[in-house]
Structure 1
């Protein structure tokens, strides 16, 4: 059985193409069943995210062209609109690709961890749809193991490579326990959402989202067990913030030296970390003159990010070595499957001979044959039955000068001495 991948991602296609090939979560089961039914693949799973759509299939007869035809029909798209953006992998190429995707080596942000969860969801969806078989199911298990090993044995995901991640890592250096701190985030865009996500994952004690549009702040805060305030309420809540991260589109500063100074007095000079990720800046530069205030701008974090990227690139080289090893392990498992049917048939043949001989021996005992004589007969008969066919085949191999077969038999049965 061949293992195929057909896909499109952020490096091969613009978002306008990717979004037209995406699969909604609530329609994934029907899509999988349709794929198995109409393309005649034996196994199937679909990974669909904002950055990639990939079909993973186990097939005896289906080809990548069959998958392309199905994709065009399912989405109602002309082939020439998306085919130039596709890539395909087969067998060892599929195995390596899945491992690299799961480890974040094929991601927009090198080493990002979210993709592993998305692959696990793809596995779960295929499992619930009943479209996973032995080969694809085992490949997913090996994929999860490879990703875990890369995460454990390398620093692929430990260094900050986004300003949001860098801001949270900075907070962790300043405060021993984020679970005891309050974070106030100003804005509701992508950067603030990512910062909120990182803080939530690190167990922040309290999360407040402030935004000019209250509904946006509320929608974001609800995702991370926080609460929302309007931007006009910011001065009243500022003293509560141990950590403040701001990223708005304002053309003028929204936080001045006076407001921060008042907040510090209300906090009895308990330190505050202020991170300004906006351009133009949200926080007046004069704020850095205040005692007990740590003010960082996006420029301050760029060196941290560059170091993080360097660290992740080095870790990526280690990850590729681990993946090489894990690919070989899975290929060895696949090769072993080629012998499974032969082993099963050989066992069934031996068990059939055993059952037949045992039945005759038991009948002999019932007819009054001495137990010792019946056992000797059983041992002799069973030995002859088991070795008869291999002996006949080896004799024929000798007559036809199949020395390779004779050598293989000696290795298979671990025969000592000269052939």
Structure 2
């Protein structure tokens, strides 16, 4: 198996846009390729796994997209044989992603393989490789914390909401980048009532999540009364919540205030109020750094698993070749095989085979 990879690591967005495929192009491309082929497309990468010679695929890909091969070569990363299998495993596990250990790529790899299989662009070799890689991903998810350890500030803030046991959450500045990311993470868990304030009248977020209760920014203190957790993530030059004003509105219900803005959105003195807890962006950035160090450790474990599984895949493919030759082996007999060991390339090669045979005979 060979692989051509065009990703965010070497190719800027302009190049990735030029090489991107739409759905109709994918099927058309498959019809033009001889042999097995799997085309993986995500927002940050295009990868082709194939069995024809590398140069032939480079030429066909560029010709199909109307691009000059020489111009595109600096953006290609190429892998062959065991290297291609190992790269596929790392990609599917999220080891090659912008966010280390992200889960979405596994689904994308699986769907790419299933589409190629449906279009009859895979046979024994690719089916074995992709199916064993899928099992490798599941093994890594089970045995390491690579995918379960969050490093995104928005995700970490959402986990703080969950840990607090919040039933109602208010996000001030929900239509901003951090606010919308945090909202999406919170909405992933059912039974949380989410309220958002924004000075804007439109946001794509709320077309996707109509269950979000939108209110004017000016009503934020009234809304604080309803909320268990209050998150602020605006670009306001002034505090969105101050200690002095807040004392006029809140009762003794425990509340968590989360400030995700730089500079601070909330008055840090909020934490001096009874029943109020306060976390700011520094807390989550430090937590992200700690988690990232953990992820690096988990990634090292994952690399060990990947190396072992790549070896297993190569053995499985090689055994398939041996089984195909069994009838001829039976005809020649074991004696002929043993005497032929004198023709091996080196003593080390012969010794390895003989040692394995001795171990096999003694354990038979």
**Pair in the same fold by TM > 0.5:** yes
Q: In structure 2, how many angstroms separate the alpha carbons of the residues matched to 1:149 and 1:168?
A: 27
Alignment partner of 1:34 out of 10, 28, 36: 28
Query: Is the CA contact 2:158–2:182 (under 8 Å) kept in the aligned structure 1?
Result: yes
State the 1:346 CA deviation: 6.5
Query: Is the CA contact 2:195–2:213 (under 8 Å) kept in the aligned structure 1?
Result: yes
Paired position in structure 2 for 1:300: 283
Change (3 A) 1:130 1:298: same
Matched, 1:227 2:212: yes
TM-score under structure 2 length normalisation: 0.84
Matched, 1:331 2:314: yes
Q: In structure 2, how many angstroms separate the alpha carbons of the residues matched to 1:140 and 1:68?
A: 22
Paired position in structure 2 for 1:183: 169
State the 1:314 CA deviation: 0.8
Query: Is the CA contact 1:126–1:132 (under 8 Å) kept in the aligned structure 2?
Result: yes
* Runs of 4+ with >6 A deviation: none
Query: Is the CA contact 1:160–1:169 (under 8 Å) kept in the aligned structure 2?
Result: no
Could you say which structure has the larger radius of gyration? 1
Matched, 1:90 2:84: no
Q: In structure 2, how many angstroms separate the alpha carbons of the residues matched to 1:227 and 1:415?
A: 70
Paired position in structure 2 for 1:11: 9
SS in 1 for 2:31: helix
Matched, 1:279 2:252: no
TM-score under structure 1 length normalisation: 0.74
Q: In structure 1, how many angstroms separate the alpha carbons of the residues matched to 2:304 and 2:14?
A: 35
Change (3 A) 1:51 1:260: farther
Alignment RMSD, CA only? 3.1
State the 1:311 CA deviation: 0.6
State the 1:262 CA deviation: 4.6
Paired position in structure 2 for 1:196: 183
State the 1:227 CA deviation: 1.7
Matched, 1:288 2:283: no
User: 5+ unaligned residues in a row in structure 1: which ranges?
Assistant: 348-386
User: 5+ unaligned residues in a row in structure 2: which ranges?
Assistant: 344-349
Matched, 1:248 2:234: yes
Structure showing the higher helix proportion among its residues: 1
Change (3 A) 1:81 1:226: farther
State the 1:93 CA deviation: 0.7
Alignment partner of 2:49 out of 45, 48, 56: 56
Paired position in structure 2 for 1:72: 62
Instruction: Choose between structure 1 and 2 for higher RCO, CA contacts under 8 A separated by at least 6 residues.
Output: 2
Aligned pairs, how many? 348
Change (3 A) 1:403 1:126: closer
SS in 2 for 1:215: coil
Query: Is the CA contact 1:183–1:208 (under 8 Å) kept in the aligned structure 2?
Result: yes
Change (3 A) 1:95 1:164: same
Q: In structure 2, how many angstroms separate the alpha carbons of the residues matched to 1:262 and 1:19?
A: 53
State the 1:307 CA deviation: 0.8
Change (3 A) 1:120 1:207: farther
Q: In structure 1, how many angstroms separate the alpha carbons of the residues matched to 2:256 and 2:241?
A: 14
Change (3 A) 1:284 1:32: same
State the 1:88 CA deviation: 0.7
Q: In structure 1, how many angstroms separate the alpha carbons of the residues matched to 2:117 and 2:177?
A: 33
- Structure 1 residues 198-227: Cα deviation after superposition (integer angstroms, max 9, x where no partner): 2233445222333222320xx313434632
Matched, 1:164 2:151: no
